[in-house]
Amino acid sequence: MIAIILITLIACKKDENSSSNTTPTPEVIDIPANYIKLGETWIGGAAAKATVYGLKAPFTGYNKLYTLLTDSTSGKVLKNGHLSIYPEMTMPMMTHSSPVDNQESEVPNGNFYEGAVVFTMPSTAGVWRLKFNYHNHASDKEGNGSMELNVVQSDPARSLSFIAGDDSSKVVLALVEPEKWKNGLNDFEITLHKKGMTDFPEIKDYTVEIEPEMPSMGHGSPNNVNPVYTKNGHYLGKVNFTMSGLWQVNIRLYKNGKLIKDGISFTITL
Amino acid sequence: MAFHLQLPCKKELPLAKPWNCLWAVSWLLLLPLNLDAQVDSLLNRNQLLKTITISEKSPNQAFNFYRGSKLANTEEILSRVPGMNLIRRGPIGMDPGLRSYQGNQINLTIDGMRMHGACTDRMDPVSIYIEPANLNSIEINQGASGAYSGSTIGGSVNLNLQKPDFSCKHVIQGKYNSSFQSASRGLSQSLILDGVQKKFAWRLSGALRKAGNYTAGGGQEIRYSQYQKWNSALAISYKINEYSLLQVDALVDQGRNIGYPGLSMDVGKANAAILAATHTLDGKQGNQLRTKLYWNNVYHEMDDTKRPETPIHMDMPGWSRTYGIFQEAQAKAGLIHWKARWDYSHTFLKADMTMYPKNEPIMFMKTLADNNQQNAGLFVKAELNAPGFLNPVVWFRYDYNALEVLPGIGADNLAGMGMQVEKPIQNHLKNGGIEFNKKYNKLLLGFKASYAERCPSANERIGFYLYSRADNFDYLGNPTLKPEQALQAEFQVVVEAEQLSWSNQFYFHHTQNALLGFVIPGYSAMTIGAKGVKEWRNLAFANAWGMETVVKWKISHSFSNLNTLRLTSTRNNLGEAMPFTPPLKIMEALSYTRHKWKVQQEFEYASSQHQLSNTFGEKSSPSWFLFHLRFSRYWTLKRGDIGFQFAIENLLDRNYYEHLDFMKIARPGRNFIIGFNLSI
C-alpha cells in the first residue's frame, strides 16, 4: 500500500516536473476530418479522459468508435493501456448489452483506440450508455467511466435480430458499412452474434451467402464473394455493384450445410 | 474491289453538280465498261485489286438513275455498291458493312480522318454525319487492302468531302435540290453556294431532311421510323502558289428525333462537328505531299420517352472526340511508284446510362468507361510498273494502338468484374500484302495475297453491359481479346469485250481469333427483358468466302443493261456461319437513254438466308424481290440547268425485309419519289 502511494507520488511529481518543464500549451492532437465527436467522459481511477468519435451520429447498427484517451491533467495522449467498452441499454423493465468489438492491442492506432458497438435498438426504447474501463499500463492505474449516447433508428436497417432455424436463440446480424459504397467491388462485411443479456457471443460456424439485386430492375451482379468468418463474429466478402442506384443485398445463412435463415437483406444506395 | 466516285476535274467552271456523287451511283452500273480506263487514268495502272475508282465521267449525265432523287442519303448511295451491305436499325443511321464484315472490322473514315460514332449501339456510324450535298466521292477497298488508313480485315470506306474548285472567272453559283417521298411523307432539301476565284474558293452547303413514319408494303405503318436532321458544311480552298494548296473544312450535322424501329430506343439528339485543315504540296510527275490536321466531336443522346413499352425511363448519352494528324506522300522513282502515309489519332470515348425508377433513387451506369485510344501507324506501298511484267504491288502497314481506361466509376466497375485495365491495353498490328496483275488482250487477271490484323474496339474490350437488340443480350467487354488475324486470298477475272464486260471477283479469307459473343452462364442482364449476358471471345477461326460478279451489256446506243450478283459465305470452327452473313443478292437494271431523258427499270432479288449463327441466335430470313421504275429529264438553261426526277420504288408494294435488318422490321412499301433540282 505504501509502495503504491509512493509510486503515485513519484508519478505525480514526475508529471508536475514534466509539465513545468514543457510549456503549458496543450498538445495538438490531429483529429481526422471525417470524425464526429460523440461524447466524452472522465475515467476517474485511471486519471484519464475518454473522447469518443464516430463516423456518423450513433445509429442502430454497427457503429465504429474511435476513442481518444488523454491524461486528465496534462492532456497528453495515452498510448499504453487497455480499453474496454461495454454498451448498456437501460429500459424500464430490464437492462441489456449488445455486441461489441474492443481493441485487443494496448497500443492505439495512431491516437485512437478503435472499437465498435452494434446498437440493436434506438434510444427511444431506453437509455444507451457506453461504459469504459481503462487500465493504463504505464501508470498501472485503472478506472471506469460512462457516457450516454442518443442512438437513432437507421433507415434502411443496418442491423437485424431474428430467430435462426438452428435453435430458439436470437441472432444479431449487422452490416459493417464502409465509409462510402462505390461502383465496382466493395468489401461486404457483416457481424453475427448470439443474442444475450450481458454477453453477445460471436457466431463463427455459419456459412453466409450473399446475392445483390436491383429490385426495380430485377437484375443482380456477378463476381461477388460470399463472406467468410474472420474473427469476433465478423464475416468478410465482396459485393460488386455494377451501377449506382438502390441495391438490395440478400443474405442466406447456413449452418452445417443446412439453410437456417433466408429472406433477409440490407438495402444499399449508391 | 474498290470504288471511287468522283467529280471530273475540269478547267472550266464546274457546272457539274455537287451531287455528282449521286450520279456516280448510276455509274456504279456502268462500272465494268469503264473499269479498265478508270483504273488506268486514276491510278496509272491496270491493277484490278487495288483501290478502283469509279468516276462520274460525263458531266452531261444529268440524272441519277439509281435513285429517284439526287437527295438520296449517303447510306442509300452506299447500299448500291457491290459487296457492300448495310445493317439496318432504322431508316437512317445504317451501319455499312463489306461482305460479311461490319462495325469495327472495316475502317469508315471521312476524308481519311478517323471519327467514331458516340453511340454504343452503333446507331451513328459516322456515315450518318455526311450528306450527299457535301460528299464528293466514296472510296471502297475490300479486305486487307483497306489498310491505307488503319489496320483492317474487312476493308475501308472513305467518304471524301466536296471541295470548291478554282476558276479564272469570279463567279458565285447556287444549286438547289428538293425531293419528296410518299412512303414516309419525307421532304429533303439542300442548298449549295459556290464562290470561285482564281486562287480562292469557298463552298457552303446546307441540307435538311424531315420524314414521318414510313409505310411498309401492304400499308403497315412502321412506328418510330421518323427522323429529322440538318447538315451544314463550309469548305475553303486557297492556292498559296502553283504547288501549294491549303484547304479548310468545317461541318456540322444535327439530328433530332430519329426513330429506330429495330431498337428499343430512339435518338433524341445526334450532334457532330468536324474541323480539318489540309495542306497539299504538288511536285513534278504527280509527286505529292499532303498533310492534314483534324478534330471531330460527336454527342449522341438516346430517347425512350416516346415508347410506351419502356419499363423505366432512361437517358443514354455518348461522347466521342477525336483529333489527329496524317501525312501522305506519293512519288515515282524509276519504275517504282511509292505511296506512304503516317498517321496519329487520339480518341476519347465515354457513354453512360441514367435510369429513373419511380419512387426510388436514380440509377447510373457507365456503359463505356471513359477511355482514350491512341493509334499511330505507318503505311508503305511500292508498285513496280514495268511493261509486260506482272505489275507486282507490295504494301505494308504497322499500327501501334493503346487503349487507356481513365480512372473513375467506369474503371471501378471494370475492376469489379476482375478486368485488368489499370494499365493501357497495347497492340502492335501488322498488315501486308502482295498483288499481281496480268492482262491478256480482253482478259484481265489479278491475284492478291495478304495478311491483316484488326484491333478489337473499345466496346468489345471494355463495354459494360452494352445491350444488343439483335440477339437480346447484354454484352461485356473483354480486355484480354487478341486481335483478329486474317489470311486473305483474292482472285479476279475480267473479260472486256466491245459491248459486254464481265467482271468476277473471288475471295477466301481465313480469320484466326475472330470475335463472337458467348453467353456467360449465371450472369443476370442489366437490361430489363434481355435474355442474359454475353462476353466477347476469340474463336479459333472463321472463314469467309464468296464472289461478286458484274455483267454490263451495252445492247444498243440507247439501251444498256447491268447485272450484279453477290455471294457470301462464312463458317467458323464451331461449324456455324458468322452473324450478319448477307444472303445471295442479285441486282439488274435496264436503262433507255434518249437525248435529255432516261427511263430505267430495276430488279432486286435476295435469296432466303439459312447460313445462320446459332451462337448469336440468328433466325432465317425469306427471299424477296422488288421492281423499281425511274424516269428523269433535264433542261439546259442559259446558265445552269434544271432537272426533274420521278421514281416508283417497290412497285409491287412487297412487304419485305433484308436479312441484316434488325428485328426483321419491314422496309418501305411502294414509294413514289419526286425530285427537282436547279442549278444557276
Highest mean pLDDT among A7-21, B248-262, B593-607: B248-262
User: Radius of gyration over alpha carbons of chain A, in Å?
Assistant: 21
* Alpha helix segments (H runs only) across B449-565: 458-462
Task: Name the band, by pLDDT with cuts 50, 70 and 90, for residue B10.
Answer: very low
Residues B360, A246: C-beta atoms closer than 8 Å: yes
For the cut 70, the answer to whether the pLDDT of residue B318 exceeds it is yes
Query: Of B361, B412, B417, which is closest to A223 when you measure between CB atoms?
Result: B417
Q: What percent of chain A is predicted at pLDDT more than 70?
A: 89
Q: Contact B459/B517 with Cβ under 8 angstroms?
A: no
Residues B365, A246: C-beta atoms closer than 8 Å: no
Q: Report the amino acid identity of residue B627.
A: F
Write down all domains in chain A, each with its CATH number in brackets: 36-149 (2.60.40), 159-269 (2.60.40.10)
Range B630-659 average pLDDT: 91
Backbone angles phi, psi at B128, to 5 degrees: -70, -20
Q: Which pLDDT belongs to residue B70?
A: 53
Q: Report the C-alpha gap between B433 and B303 in whole angstroms.
A: 45
Query: Of B358, B366, B526, which is closest to A219 when you measure between CB atoms?
Result: B526
Q: Report the C-alpha gap between A268 and B73 in whole angstroms.
A: 49
pLDDT digits (tens, 9 = 90+) for A183-207: 999 999 999 999 988 999 999 999 9
Which chain B residues touch A219 with a CB distance below 8 Å? 524-526, 528
Mean pLDDT score across all residues of chain B: 86
pLDDT digits (tens, 9 = 90+) for A60-92: 999 999 999 999 888 899 999 999 999 999 998
Looking up cell 505531299 gives B289
Return the minimum-mean-pLDDT range out of B243-247, B254-258, B309-313, B329-333.
B309-313
Which chain A residues touch B364 with a CB distance below 8 Å? 243-245
> Cell digits for A226?
460470399
Which chain B residues touch A242 with a CB distance below 8 Å? 365, 413, 416-417, 464-465, 526
Q: Which pLDDT belongs to residue B108?
A: 94
> Cell digits for A193?
452474434
Min Cα distance A207 → chain B (Å) is: 21
Q: Which pLDDT belongs to residue B134?
A: 85
Q: Report the C-alpha gap between A78 and A5 in whole angstroms.
A: 21
Q: Report the C-alpha gap between B235 and B276 in whole angstroms.
A: 10
Q: Which residues contact B11 (CB under 8 A, 6 or more apart)?
A: none
pLDDT digits (tens, 9 = 90+) for B567-586: 999 999 999 999 999 999 99
3-state secondary structure A203-252: CCCEEEEEEEEECCCCECCCCCEEEEECCCCEEEEEEEECCECEEEEEEE
Min Cα distance B374 → chain A (Å) is: 26
Return the minimum-mean-pLDDT range out of B32-41, B155-164, B197-206.
B32-41
For the cut 50, the answer to whether the pLDDT of residue A167 exceeds it is yes
Q: Which pLDDT belongs to residue B468?
A: 93
Residue of B310, B355, B368 to mutate, interface with A, max A Cβ within 10 Å: B355
> Cell digits for B247?
484547304
Q: Which residues contact B298 (CB under 8 A, 6 or more apart)?
A: B115, B116, B117, B118, B124, B126, B129, B270, B271, B272, B273, B318, B319, B320, B321
Neighbours of B452 (CB within 10 A): 29
Q: Which pLDDT belongs to residue B359?
A: 85
Q: Which pLDDT belongs to residue A104?
A: 85
Residues B415, A184: C-beta atoms closer than 8 Å: yes
For the cut 50, the answer to whether the pLDDT of residue A3 exceeds it is no
Q: Which pLDDT belongs to residue A233?
A: 95
Residues B361, A221: C-beta atoms closer than 8 Å: no
Residue of A155, A211, A243 to mutate, interface with B, max B Cβ within 10 Å: A243
Residues B524, A185: C-beta atoms closer than 8 Å: no
Q: Which pLDDT belongs to residue B292?
A: 98
Residue of A242, A248, A250, A267 to mutate, interface with B, max B Cβ within 10 Å: A242
Nearest CA in chain B to A243: B365
Min Cα distance A216 → chain B (Å) is: 7
Return the minimum-mean-pLDDT range out of A190-194, A210-214, B2-6.
B2-6
pLDDT digits (tens, 9 = 90+) for B22-74: 333 333 333 322 222 232 222 223 333 334 333 333 332 322 333 334 556 77
Min Cα distance A36 → chain B (Å) is: 27
Backbone angles phi, psi at B675, to 5 degrees: -130, 150
The reply to whether omega before A156 is within 30° of 0 (cis) is yes
For the cut 50, the answer to whether the pLDDT of residue B433 exceeds it is yes
**Closest residue by Cα to residue B675 from B69, B219, B210:** B69
Range B85-111 average pLDDT: 90
Which chain B residues touch A216 with a CB distance below 8 Å? 312, 357-358, 360, 363
Task: Tally A–B CB contacts below 8 A.
Answer: 80
Q: Report the C-alpha gap between A199 and B129 in whole angstroms.
A: 71
Task: Name the band, by pLDDT with cuts 50, 70 and 90, for residue B13.
Answer: very low
For the cut 60, the answer to whether the pLDDT of residue B489 exceeds it is yes
Residue of A188, A239, A244, A246 to mutate, interface with B, max B Cβ within 10 Å: A244
Min Cα distance A211 → chain B (Å) is: 11
- The answer to ipTM > 0.85 is no
**Half-sphere CA count of B143, side-chain side, radius 13 A:** 28
Interface of A with B (CB under 8 A): 182-185, 214-223, 240-246, 269
pLDDT digits (tens, 9 = 90+) for B542-576: 999 999 998 989 999 899 898 889 999 999 999 99
Residues A183, B413: C-beta atoms closer than 8 Å: yes
**Closest residue by Cα to residue B354 from B343, B344, B365:** B365
Residues A216, B464: C-beta atoms closer than 8 Å: no
Q: Which pLDDT belongs to residue B312?
A: 87
Give the DSSP letter string of B41-67: HHHSS--SSS---EE---TT----SSS
Query: Of B362, B413, B524, which is closest to A245 when you measure between CB atoms?
Result: B362
Q: Which pLDDT belongs to residue B378?
A: 97
Q: Which pLDDT belongs to residue A166?
A: 62
Residue of B358, B409, B462, B475 to mutate, interface with A, max A Cβ within 10 Å: B409
Residues B364, A214: C-beta atoms closer than 8 Å: no
Range A101-127 average pLDDT: 92
Q: Report the C-alpha gap between B268 and B598 in whole angstroms.
A: 40
> Cell digits for B338?
511509292
Query: Of B364, B523, B528, which is closest to A243 when you measure between CB atoms?
Result: B364
Q: Would the pTM of this model clear 0.95, i.e. be above it?
A: no
> Cell digits for B639?
446558265
Residues A242, B526: C-beta atoms closer than 8 Å: yes
SS3 of residue B213 by DSSP:
coil
Residues A245, B533: C-beta atoms closer than 8 Å: no
Q: Which pLDDT belongs to residue A169?
A: 79
Residues A242, B355: C-beta atoms closer than 8 Å: no
Task: Name the band, by pLDDT with cuts 50, 70 and 90, for residue A27.
Answer: low
